[in-house]
Amino acid sequence: MLKKLLGIAPQLEADGSYSPSKLALKLGTVAKTDFENISYTKYQGKKSKILVIFTERKNMTMKNGKKFSTGNHPIEALLPMLHLKNAGFDFEIVTPTGKPVVFEMWAFPTKDEQVQAIYKELKSSFEQPKKLQNFIDTSFTDVESYAAVFIPGGHGAMLGIPEDRNVGKVLNWAHENDLFTITLCHGPGSLLTTTLDNQQFLYKGYKMAVFPDAVDKQTPMIGYLPGHMPWGLSERLKSLGAKLVNTKSDKTVCVDRKLITGASPLASNELGKLAAKTLLEKLN
């Protein structure tokens, strides 16, 4: 009751999961983003497609058994996509099984016209994405059409995706064919798929920006999460040999070889700019 009065009680949803408290939403979400509408010299080449792997899963079970209402963070997905679209790239949207993309709609920037526009433009693809297996079956041989793979963040990126062998196949395919891999916040959980079946971590020794476990440990105090995380992402990556370049959930972005990463939702605009600029420089 006291937590409710203070506005730090996570909010119960109809399916029994919890979204962030009123205070956490006030501190951790925005109605309008810092997106910069940059006029890029558009890419005109053949490698114009970007594969975007979204999660289709909504609820994360915390250590205390409570479920956190999550999915893909809308800003982490849509701001980088806005920059990449403005740079002349198109998107192929997939989920592991072809079920609809799930967004953390409580984090949607309701007063941001640019974000709303790209969301509406791609809404049918979010509702009816392709199945990742179908992409592997039909598009692996068409590598010349692709520039990058993008895996947005949101805690939902830690649900199923880190154990998905098809995600691992795609990341290895991208690596072997010199495509870029773009991800941020909790999205780097996808990189763990390259260790499945006792394979060596593909990104050992890479510098990367990732959401810090230390911040995830603090957020239950203000009701952002309804309990402590089931496992820690940044420490897992570090234990495999990743070189983390940030200690805060800030605007840090990083490019190392063909891996482009960002630290948090706050890095979404910077990641989009870095990805667009890097792809244009390397592909034009």
Catalytic amino acids? Answer: 185
From the list 261, 282, 222, 281, the residue with the least C-alpha distance to 80 is 261
CB 64 within 8 A of CB 226: yes
For 1-89, where are the E strands, in sequence order? Answer: 11-12, 18-19, 49-53, 59-61, 67-69
CB 199 within 8 A of CB 155: no
Rounded to the nearest 10 degrees, what angle do helices 268-283 and 74-86 cross at? 30
DSSP per-residue codes, 99-157: PPP-B-GGG--TT-HHHHHHHHHHHHHHHSPEEHHHHHHHHGGGGGGEEEEEE--SGGG
